[in-house]
Structure 1
């Protein structure tokens, strides 16, 4: 009866109240579901033993019924031989077998009632277990979504992102400084003289003339 009592306690329990009182609701949900699963296994095992007991009792009842028939035949035989004493003794044995059948039938009826109650409890417990699992999945999905939103908001608005962008500003400042140093190196450099600039033009003109001559020769050979 301990198993069935615990089953009814679980069925009657208000899961919401348990979660409200829990320090860690997610852990409490897992414990509740585990308790339901273990209880369901135990109740089914108890029901299986009850069914096995009933089958054994019915086999014994069948043997007792055969025994009653046998004692009836023996009583009839004794009467046919004018042995009323033996017939009476046979009828007494038959009555014993009959009484045992009645007793076993009554026990089977009690077990039938227990099985019906067990079946009802199992059905209710399965329903509650499905509901608990569904709610667990929904809660865990919402929790995961909430955690993802928190991480995203921390990425977009948190101090880490601001710190990262401040480092970008520092890096850009360093690049500006390096470019400034490069530009500063060309400051104050002596300008080219007129002769240097004309010499560069002459060199470029000479290169152009040599390039034109080379093209003309290649075209002629072609």
Structure 2
């Protein structure tokens, strides 16, 4: 393999590893959880501000009612004292406060509707967040199991059965060849030894005569 091809392979492996890390399902789940928590925080802040506005409006209505009651008492007291001008002014302010009270109460109803909408949205987000937390635990468990199986399969794949069989066969052939060499050595070792004891020696006439007599007999 050329050096440039090897560099390209290494760079590709590094990039793929980086992408795999970026697409880690557990990291993705954690990121989604953080995003959901951020959205919950924003919704809670908005709801808090809305409740503050609602409470402030309710307090304004309470103050307006209190002013109306105060002007009513002032008008009655002025009438008792025969001060019609003061009574008239008190009654006029009371009417103004009544008109304001009507507007404030309408505004409060609109504010309450918005508050209810925000509460519903917040509750929906909270339910979704809780579901996400439960699902995160389940998915994390599944991811761990899948990753463990993947690692086992990856390790298993490094052991090639074919290579092992070929290796064993090759080793067996070497052993058979070694055994054949040993056997062949037994047959071919000192081939002249079989003739060593058959050297020709001198034979006497008596030995020859005796052997002839035996054959004749």
- TM-score when scaled to structure 1? 0.54
SS at match of 2:82: coil
Residue 25 of structure 1 and its aligned partner are, at CA, apart by 7.0
Quote the residue 1:3 is aligned against: none
Quote the residue 1:212 is aligned against: none
SS at match of 1:82: coil
Quote the residue 1:148 is aligned against: 148
Residue 46 of structure 1 and its aligned partner are, at CA, apart by 1.7
1:57-206 counterparts in 2 under 5 A? 57-159=57-159
Residue 159 of structure 1 and its aligned partner are, at CA, apart by 4.4
1:44 paired to 2:44: yes
Q: CA separation in 2, counterparts of 1:60 and 1:150?
A: 66
Quote the residue 1:206 is aligned against: none
Q: CA separation in 2, counterparts of 1:28 and 1:150?
A: 19
Residue 65 of structure 1 and its aligned partner are, at CA, apart by 1.7
Q: Which runs of 5+ in 1 are unaligned?
A: 1-22, 171-222
Residue 59 of structure 1 and its aligned partner are, at CA, apart by 2.6
Post-superposition, which runs of at least 4 consecutive aligned residues in structure 1 deviate over 6 A? 160-163
Quote the residue 1:24 is aligned against: 23
Q: CA separation in 2, counterparts of 1:25 and 1:95?
A: 68
- Greater C-alpha radius of gyration: 2
Q: CA separation in 2, counterparts of 1:65 and 1:32?
A: 49
Change (3 A) 1:87 1:157: same
Q: How many residues align?
A: 145
- What is the root-mean-square deviation of aligned Cα atoms in Å? 3.1
Q: CA separation in 2, counterparts of 1:160 and 1:126?
A: 52
Residue 125 of structure 1 and its aligned partner are, at CA, apart by 1.4
- TM-score when scaled to structure 2? 0.55
Q: CA separation in 2, counterparts of 1:136 and 1:160?
A: 37
